[in-house]
Structure 1
């Protein structure tokens, strides 16, 4: 089974727990789907945008990442902005989304804003972002790098790392640690499945969710 398929069987919460167990960063809050039910899993293709600085571009931001991505990969966008400043413009929109669907991109994660939500929802492209705005990137943001490491919510993401995004948030897993993280996540998921059955069968919550549950992330 492909890594993306194995990740898709889990969720961001379980993977966050697995990362906690291993002492690894990777879970990011505040980046959520722009349409209900959108989720994605796959390898990252990275790009960074920065505030417009007067440079002339020969292509719109995002075009190079689209041409770099192969089937099922996730485009991960860092939108650099002053610390504490809200996203001032979108770095992904309808035409880019249409091209992404046509090229088989698995989804897009934007640490910043996107626009054209209605169109993206109709296209069924999974997209998670920090904000939605109507403002274009043209004259406001330019593409600074594609394929280089980016920082998303304080987490360093390299091209080829793994991504899962769902309704709870986004998780990034270093490519060299994915087997280890998946093994821990599978073990934790199996334990929680047993607990879920016990609760559904009427067991007392304090019995099921006792000390064992509290200490579960410390198990190795």
Structure 2
């Protein structure tokens, strides 16, 4: 699996990634790669712009990077209203009341650690389908990150938690009466591109990208070479400018990680 990277993240907000790349674990092949490296590699094999999610879908906080196989949710706008609730207890438990009446599809338990939850919001109106609690719950269940072409709410908390979430919009409202999950682990559209379960999905400060699983090994190989060439060139500039080396030019560490792959 691969994980969210952020040196300022509070203790416990991220899980350690693999020590070495594993050819049998596609996500691990993307651990050190930037979205730009992968975009260049996809261009190189003729996938020009086909898998670039809308640039409106952005990480909620700086320094975020994650990769992993997609686990997908397809949502549609609800076509029935939430009814008026009578007590504070009912209002607090509104989600449970709504789901109890109409049901709520969820991703299956036991997904491989390191997946990325990708959500097709169905183009509905403002609704905080994702928030501070359920995004963190996704990470607890083994996700590396969450991407949605819709809304996330509680964003101050999400940022403070350093929960890795990429969104198109920030929202305020809750699920009942506004949005429903109709399918899980199916082909979806997110940010204008197709995403299937198992496709490799990644995000960093440049945005979000999808790598079709059929070309994921090839793309990872090309992208790694692009990254290492860039690191070598930048390290020379660091030396010329008298800058101290940092992890973004640590070629030895990256080569060690990918040794034997």
TM superposition shift of 1:201:
5.1
Larger Cα-atom Rg = 2
TM superposition shift of 1:174:
1.0
The superposition leaves residues 153-206 of structure 1 with CA deviations (integer Å, 9 ceiling, x where unpaired) of 221110011111111101111112111101111222232233323444559xxx
What residue is the counterpart of 2:182 in the other structure?
A: 144
Structure 2: distance between partners of 1:22 and 1:68: 34
Match of 2:230 among 182, 192, 198: 192
What residue is the counterpart of 2:123 in the other structure?
A: 81
Q: Secondary structure at the match of 1:69?
A: coil
Q: Structure 1-normalised TM-score?
A: 0.80
Given that residues 47 and 145 in structure 1 are in contact (C-alpha distance below 8 angstroms), is that contact kept between their aligned partners in structure 2? yes
TM superposition shift of 1:150:
0.7
Q: Secondary structure at the match of 1:42?
A: strand
Deviates more, 1:175-184 or 1:97-106: 97-106
Structure 2: distance between partners of 1:71 and 1:186: 23
Matches within 5 A, 1:25-104: 25-28=50-53, 29-54=55-80, 57-58=99-100, 64-65=106-107, 67=109, 69-81=111-123, 88-104=126-142
Structure 2: distance between partners of 1:32 and 1:199: 29
Structure 1: distance between partners of 2:78 and 2:30: 36
Q: Structure 2-normalised TM-score?
A: 0.68
Residue 15, structure 1, aligned to residue 31, structure 2: no
Which structure 1 residue ranges, 5 or more long, are not aligned? 204-220
Structure 1: distance between partners of 2:111 and 2:161: 18
Which structure 2 residue ranges, 5 or more long, are not aligned? 1-20, 82-97, 242-261
What residue is the counterpart of 1:167 in the other structure?
A: 205
Residue 155, structure 1, aligned to residue 181, structure 2: no
Q: For residues 76 and 198 of structure 1, do their structure 2 counterparts lie closer, same or farther at Cα, with a shift above 3 Å needed?
A: same
Structure 2: distance between partners of 1:11 and 1:60: 39
Residue 179, structure 1, aligned to residue 245, structure 2: no
Q: Write out the 4+ residue segments of structure 1 that deviate beyond 6 Å after TM superposition.
A: none
What residue is the counterpart of 1:111 in the other structure?
A: 149
What residue is the counterpart of 1:5 in the other structure?
A: 28
TM superposition shift of 1:23:
1.5
Given that residues 126 and 172 in structure 2 are in contact (C-alpha distance below 8 angstroms), is that contact kept between their aligned partners in structure 1? no
Match of 2:171 among 133, 151, 158: 133
Across the aligned residues of Structure 1 and Structure 2, the Cα RMSD in angstroms comes to 2.4
